[in-house]
A and B are shown apart, each in its own frame.
Chain A
Amino acid sequence: MKPEESLDVTRESDGLSPTADEADISGGVAAPENKRRRLVRSAAALAPLVLTLRSGGVAAASCTGARLVRVGDDGKFSDAYHQTNDVCIVDTPAPVCENHPTTDGFTKVRTEPASFAPVVEDGQGYRCNTNIDLNNKIVAILSSTSATSLLT
């Protein structure tokens, strides 16, 4: 999960209360605007924030984004979007929400009730770390970010 942004605030010199450590920001700024604060953003402060909130009753009724992958007859699947700590929903058929795609790719799934298993690397591909037979089935994968939000 990306950190929340932090901002470095540098006050423009307004001539009213100059201090030695105030930044002097030059530029063609109109006189009244000299008194406004300007935000100087670092690269860290530009990190996008994407959090999804959960609350018990809503979680039971909501659909959340997931991706569907096709598990091979060896129990493995490929996943171009894999991230560490991704989670499989091991229920089959995958609990896809009404009117959403049921083939490989992004979709929306119901997460309650659902059973989960971690995604683990296995050679050139991945598998769901479970004893449930998922061979040749379509399985929903929750990103680590999405799975984490389910716990809040």
Chain B
Amino acid sequence: MFFRSAGHDLVWIDWDQVYIVYQPSSAETHVFNEVTALILRSLEVGPLSSEEVSEKIEVALGVERGVLVADDLAFATMRLEELGLIERLDSACAAQ
């Protein structure tokens, strides 16, 4: 499973590792924690697989590999996709 940023501009307010994020495209305001923020920021560079996103988050947070629960990541990516903040790609599209 691959994901990429949907490319929408967001307004971020950093509030001591909790992020208040305004999404102008939908006029919605979200609250993200550091892990969710790292998901979005890791995908800004380019498409990544779920495993690559997990790895980047764990490295950024300085925790052991495998600590990030796959189901938790799946929930977050599903919700972020629903909000239109990231897009899901099949393997062929991600390889291009």
Chain A residues within 8 Å of B, Cβ to Cβ:
2, 4-5, 41, 43, 46-53, 58, 61-67, 81, 97, 106, 108, 143, 145-146
Contacts and interface: CB of A to CB of B under 8 A. Distances in A.
Contacts of A108: 25-26, 84
B91 interface: no
B86 to A, nearest CB: 10
9 contacts: A2-B76, A47-B69, A48-B33, A49-B32, A49-B36, A50-B79, A52-B83, A53-B30, A67-B82
A44 B31 CA distance: 18
A5 B63 CA distance: 15
B75 interface: yes
Interface of B: 18, 25-36, 39, 57, 61, 63, 67-69, 72-73, 75-76, 78-84
Contacts of A52: 28-31, 83
A87 to B, nearest CB: 13
Most B C-beta atoms less than 10 A away, residue of A41, A58, A97: A41
Contacts of A62: 26-28
Contact of B82 (A41, A46, A143): A143
B26 A63 contact: yes
Given A43-B69, A108-B84, 16 more contacts: A2-B75, A5-B33, A48-B39, A48-B72, A49-B18, A50-B76, A51-B32, A52-B31, A58-B27, A62-B28, A63-B26, A63-B28, A65-B81, A65-B84, A66-B82, A108-B26
A51 B72 contact: no
A53 B29 contact: yes
B80 A41 contact: no
A28 B26 CA distance: 47
B68 A46 contact: yes
Contacts of B18: 49
Contacts of B34: 5
Nearest to A99: B25
Nearest to A146: B82
List 8 A-B pairs, minimum CB-CB distance, nearest first: A48-B76, A65-B82, A49-B33, A62-B27, A51-B31, A65-B83, A48-B36, A48-B35
A53 B28 contact: yes
Contacts of B57: 46
A64 B82 CA distance: 8
